[in-house]
Chains A and B, each alone.
Chain A
Amino acid sequence: MKSLILITALTCAVFAGSFNKAGVAPVTNELYKKECGSCHFAYQPGLLPSKSWDKMMLNLSDHFGSDASLEKEDYDSILGYLRKNSAEKFMNYKRSARIVNSLRAAETPESISKTPYIIKKHKKIRADLITQQEVKGIFNCTACHTTAQKGIYSERDILIPNFGKWED
């Protein structure tokens, strides 16, 4: 029995690479949830490298076309949280590791949906399912990933509006 467990653990380790946790680390910061989660899903910081968060935070008054400017104290606090919890700091989580490993060295994606890994994972989905009213775009994780709030993006938890379960 002991050896079976050991073999299972070893096999998992080999196939899993360096990560040992599923998904991405959940959001833990209340200010971040409040300030960034008012207009869109509060994306886990582990979905982007810190260089991307830094770039995004430089221009909050034109944040994907909306004014998301913050007071200085809130800005500093949120930037600190993002830097401390960005993808490359949490390579033990599967999705963070996959996102970081997909990046080219000189590349600083301006959004999660522009990272090579996320582009690849959503490539096969029909365009009209992504643009439909209930979803609006790849940015809207929770529209289809029913467990996104918990940082879990596994295939069995996907439910696409007006389509149903997704099997790759």
Chain B
Amino acid sequence: MKLIFTLLLLISISYASVVDEYLVTLGAQAKVENPNFKGFDAKRGEIIFTSKHIGKKGKEVSCVSCHGDDLSKASKNFFTAKEIEPLSPKANPNRFSEVKTIEKWIRRNFNDVYNREGTTLEKGDVVTYIINK
């Protein structure tokens, strides 16, 4: 039994996507920061993604302002009108395919919307929400 479990675990690890691995790393970090950490939550992530805040430009915005309500569709940058490709990895396989790019956009966009960087818990929650939406 133990052997089967180990094999299954190994298989699942080897097939894990970039974003799954990223979430595992973030989860380990979250556990260090808070021993009571029980896992990331898409519901909390949804609130992070959809709630409005006074952002870096002094305007009230949310992630939705640029990425739109439907993450499977292209949207437009709220400030520049430049088209933004769908954020959902289900609709756009390029999304969440590289840790460097994930971290860059999370850093930038938390600053843009929240005027500060996201916490480990917030980052994990919002990524969990986006990839499952």
Interface residues, chain A, with chain B CB atoms under 8 Å away = 38-41, 61-62, 65-71, 133-136, 139-140, 143
Contacts and interface: CB of A to CB of B under 8 A. Distances in A.
Nearest to B100: A71
A164 to B, nearest CB: 19
Interface string B59-100: 000000000000000000101111010000000000000001
Contact of B107 (A40, A67, A140, A143): A67
B56 A39 contact: no
Name the 8 nearest CB pairs between A and B, nearest first.
A65-B57, A67-B111, A67-B108, A40-B80, A136-B81, A40-B82, A66-B112, A67-B112
B56 A62 contact: yes
Nearest to A37: B82
Contacts of A70: 104
A158 B60 CA distance: 33
Interface of B: 56-58, 77, 79-82, 84, 100, 104, 107-109, 111-112
B108 A40 contact: no
A110 to B, nearest CB: 16
Contacts of A139: 80
B111 A143 contact: no
Contacts of A61: 111
Contacts of A39: 77, 80, 82
Given A69-B107, A140-B82, 4 more contacts: A39-B82, A67-B111, A135-B81, A140-B80
Nearest to A133: B81
A65 B104 CA distance: 17
Contacts of B56: 62, 65-67
